[in-house]
Amino acid sequence: MLSMNTKRPVNLDMLSIKLPLTAIASILHRISGFILVFIIGFFLYLLDCSLQSESTFTLLVKQLNQGWIQSMIWLFLSAFIYHFCAGIKHLLMDMGYGESKTSGRIAAGFCLLISVVISILLGVWMVC
Amino acid sequence: MLNNATSLSRSGLRDWLIQRATAIILSAYFIFILVYLFRHPHLTYYEWHALFSNTWVKIFSVMALIAMVLHSWIGLWTISTDYFIARFQGSKAVYIRLAFQGFFALLLLIYLLFGVQILWGVSS
């Protein structure tokens, strides 16, 4: 660390940096993980309701049709699918696949595309 | 370089490995629950209760819960040490970082205890 040049120029204006596709994929991995941390608390509460007794289970099943709970489930699954795909991409890269600039960009795009398609299909399926 | 007193294992390499190992456990658990739900479209309380009263499912669930807490901590720690640094917030950075880490440490501890109570409380 001592040999590192500590006076390197730093771009302070984050918004002036144009994010490439791989950076967007990376920041979304963080955002989706951050969202999941919060929603998991809500899902633990639902799990508690589902296992307490038959009456709380029945009540929960009825409540599941409510719009805001459906939205929470959709948000959870969408965030999870993206986080999952991006995680698989990471594991593959750890194993040495797709480490070049081009393949990294393709993997990031593929990851985004797959999760967006699944999220939309999921939303349509839940509404219908 | 940031002080790593709050990192999970105080070793970047070990954190990296724990993050991957917990990711695999979480993926397996998610797929397990998803497959179960698809195979039981008209799920009753008795089926659901029977699933979670199985000792192996309890072990797998608590394992996934612990994996989720560790995985979340490593991720949140990484976020906090990337964005709440002196270069961005100056001398206030350390307080913001510790507040952020303290909040999530508490939240994840609550998740862990609440989750264990739910899962271990299911009568066999």
Smallest CA–CA separation between B101 and chain A, in Å?
13
pLDDT band at B47 (very low <50, low <70, confident <90, very high): very high
Alpha helices in A64-100 (DSSP H): 67-94
Residue position matching structure tokens 């100056």: B90
What distance in Å separates the CA atoms of residue B124 and residue B122, rounded to the nearest whole number? 6
Q: Which domain holds residue B43?
A: 12-121
Where residue B104 sits, what CATH number does that domain have?
1.20.1300.10
Q: How many domains does chain A have?
A: 1
For chains A and B, count residue pairs whose Cβ atoms are closer than 8 Å: 52
Where residue A109 sits, what CATH number does that domain have?
1.20.1300.10
Residue A8, domain member (yes or no) = no
Q: Which domain holds residue A92?
A: 21-127
**Is the CB of residue B22 less than 8 Å from the CB of residue B71?**
yes
Q: How many domains does chain B have?
A: 1
Residue B1, domain member (yes or no) = no
Cβ of A51 and B76 within 8 Å? no
pLDDT band at B88 (very low <50, low <70, confident <90, very high): confident
Put simply, whether B76 touches A (Cβ < 8 Å) is yes
pTM above 0.80, yes or no: yes
Q: From the list A37, A48, A84, which residue is nearest B118 (CB)? A: A48
Cβ of A91 and B52 within 8 Å? no
Q: What is the pLDDT of residue A4?
A: 59
User: In the numeric block, which tokens belong to residue B112?
Assistant: 């862990």
Nearest to B66 by CA among B16, B27, B22, B99: B22
Express each pLDDT in A31-82 by its tens digit.
Answer: 999 999 999 999 999 999 999 999 999 999 999 999 999 999 999 999 999 9
Which residues are within 8 A (CB) of B68 and not within 5 positions of it... i.e. 6 or more apart? A40, B22, B26, B111
Q: What is the pLDDT of residue B52?
A: 97
Cβ of B27 and A84 within 8 Å? yes
Residue A11, domain member (yes or no) = no
Q: Which residue of A has its CA nearest to B89?
A: A12
Complex ipTM value: 0.92
What distance in Å separates the CA atoms of residue B93 and residue B2, rounded to the nearest whole number? 11
Residue B25's region, left for phi above 0, alpha for psi from -120 to 50, else beta, is alpha
Residue A64, domain member (yes or no) = yes
Residue B50, domain member (yes or no) = yes
